[in-house]
């Protein structure tokens, strides 16, 4: 009998331990808790306000201390971070019709009707981001009626209305001036100053006379130039003519030039009556 009681005690303890571990796993892997942990991780602190679309694995949270907002989907496996001032507005739609709207620079469109029954209640957050401009949260679907912990459409609309008021308070705040670009942490490269070599005092040299200095200086070699003449005869007599005398003697004397005109005397001229020339003498 003692062994039977011991066996029953061991089975009871094992079943209790398994139940405890299973309950802890269920509690830890709860959808809302996973989303809250993910938002707390990306926002570097616990979010001050959180909205969760149960059954869809989506949620959003704001942390006004760090001035950041984050959205999560796939039960917190994926998150996206925004700045609070990037929130441009929010919309509440029921069955595809927008019944409430808040947008930056526009007056708020308050909810003017009370809906008790609806097939879909959706809250859309609009951000100033070209890649991910909006994020939708289906707060209520018609299939949620089968869940035991499901809310009514009226409760979903009330929660969405509170988020519209919160978004309106954010978009009405003036935008903070954009921070200037931080200067580069790398030190500026400065020009290295030139290295000045120290001047070494030289010992005075002994005095050298000018004549000795000129004679001791190396003689400069004359520059090579082309000869002006092919060959210069240095043995010729400077008084002798550069041409040969024999050639001049053999040459014939120049012939006298013939006169191209014949002189005419005044006595041989015909009388004036017979002349057809001018009255004056051209020879004069």
* Residue 182 domain flag: no
* Residue 147 domain flag: yes
Greater confidence, 136 or 276?
136
3-state secondary structure 43-70: CCCCCCEEEEECCCCEEEEEECCCCEEE
* Residue 87 domain flag: yes
* Residue 115 domain flag: yes
* Domains: count for the chain: 1
pLDDT at 251 over 50: yes
Assess contact for 144 and 55: CB atoms under 8 A. yes
Residue with tokens 């059954």: 55
Residue with tokens 């009370």: 114
**Pick from 55, 64, 14, 5: nearest CA to 35:** 55
* Residue 197 domain flag: no
Domain of 66 in residue numbering reads as 21-171
pLDDT in tens, 97-154: 888 999 998 888 888 777 778 889 999 999 999 999 999 999 988 888 777 566 788 8
pLDDT at 282 over 60: no
* Residue 236 domain flag: no
* Residue 283 domain flag: no
* Residue 154 domain flag: yes
């Amino acid at each position: 009998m003692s062994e039977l009681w011991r066996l029953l005690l061991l089975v009871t303890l094992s079943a209790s331990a398994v139940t405890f571990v299973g309950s802890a796993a269920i509690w830890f892997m709860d959808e809302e808790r996973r989303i809250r942990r993910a938002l707390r991780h990306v926002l570097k602190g616990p979010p001050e306000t959180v909205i969760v679309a149960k059954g869809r694995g989506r949620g959003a949270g704001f942390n006004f201390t760090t001035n950041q907002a984050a959205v999560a989907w796939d039960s917190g496996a994926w998150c996206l971070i925004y700045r609070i001032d990037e929130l441009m507005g929010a919309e509440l739609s029921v069955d595809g019709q927008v019944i409430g709207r808040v947008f930056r620079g526009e007056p708020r469109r308050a909810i003017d009707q009370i809906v008790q029954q609806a097939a879909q209640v959706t809250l859309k957050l609009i951000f100033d981001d070209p890649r991910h401009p909006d994020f939708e949260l289906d707060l209520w679907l018609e299939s949620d009626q089968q869940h035991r912990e499901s809310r009514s459409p009226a409760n979903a609309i009330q929660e969405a209305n509170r988020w519209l008021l919160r978004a309106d308070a954010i978009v009405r705040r003036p935008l903070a001036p954009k921070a200037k670009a931080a200067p580069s942490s790398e030190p500026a490269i400065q020009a290295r100053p030139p290295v000045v070599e120290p001047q070494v005092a030289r010992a005075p040299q002994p005095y050298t006379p000018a004549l000795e200095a000129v004679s001791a200086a190396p003689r400069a070699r004359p520059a090579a130039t082309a000869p002006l003449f092919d060959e210069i005869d240095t043995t010729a007599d400077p008084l002798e003519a550069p041409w040969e005398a024999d050639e001049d003697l053999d040459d014939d004397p120049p012939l006298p030039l013939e006169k191209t005109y014949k002189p005419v005397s005044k006595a041989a001229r015909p009388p004036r009556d017979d002349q057809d020339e001018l009255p004056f003498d051209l020879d004069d």
